[in-house]
């Protein structure tokens, strides 16, 4: 299986929302479409936020959000916070999530973390 690690495309929100169903057994309902679109545009236009995905079989099978946070310590180096890490249940235990986290780490380093 060929896995591609990359940044998400703006048009892939529906696939991401579908994948997020695998994040928690129970979660709050997804907000209304207008709110979802507002949040999505905020994420996609924030240069400090990176929505990263793993693609297999032309589907998003894992995702996470990396936020690069400015910092006054450590010589002014930013640090990265990784959240909302999820792998589709059919693709777990195959190293895809680990690969995505390594990709997120490299993306953080590439952004001065």
CA distance 17 to 47: 21
Q: Domain containing 54: what range?
A: 4-110
CATH number at residue 47: 3.40.630.30
Q: pLDDT tens across 27-62, in order?
A: 788 889 999 999 999 999 999 999 999 999 899 999
Q: pLDDT tens across 64-98, in order?
A: 999 999 999 989 999 999 999 999 999 999 999 99
pLDDT at 29: 82
Q: Is the pTM of this model over 0.85?
A: yes
Residue 26 has pLDDT above 90, yes or no: no
What is the residue-averaged pLDDT of the chain?
Answer: 95
Number of domains in the chain: 1
- CA 81, distance to chain mean position in Å, is 11
């Amino acid at each position: 299986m060929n896995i591609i690690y990359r940044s998400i495309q703006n048009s892939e929100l529906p696939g991401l929302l579908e994948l997020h169903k695998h994040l928690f057994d129970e979660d709050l309902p997804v907000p209304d479409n207008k709110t979802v679109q507002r949040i999505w545009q905020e994420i996609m236009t924030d240069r400090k936020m990176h929505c990263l995905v793993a693609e297999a079989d032309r589907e998003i099978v894992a995702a996470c959000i990396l936020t690069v946070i400015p910092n006054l310590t450590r010589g002014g180096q930013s640090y990265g916070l990784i959240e909302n890490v999820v792998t589709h249940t059919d693709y777990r235990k195959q190293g895809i999530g680990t690969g995505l986290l390594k990709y997120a780490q490299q993306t953080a380093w590439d952004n001065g973390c």
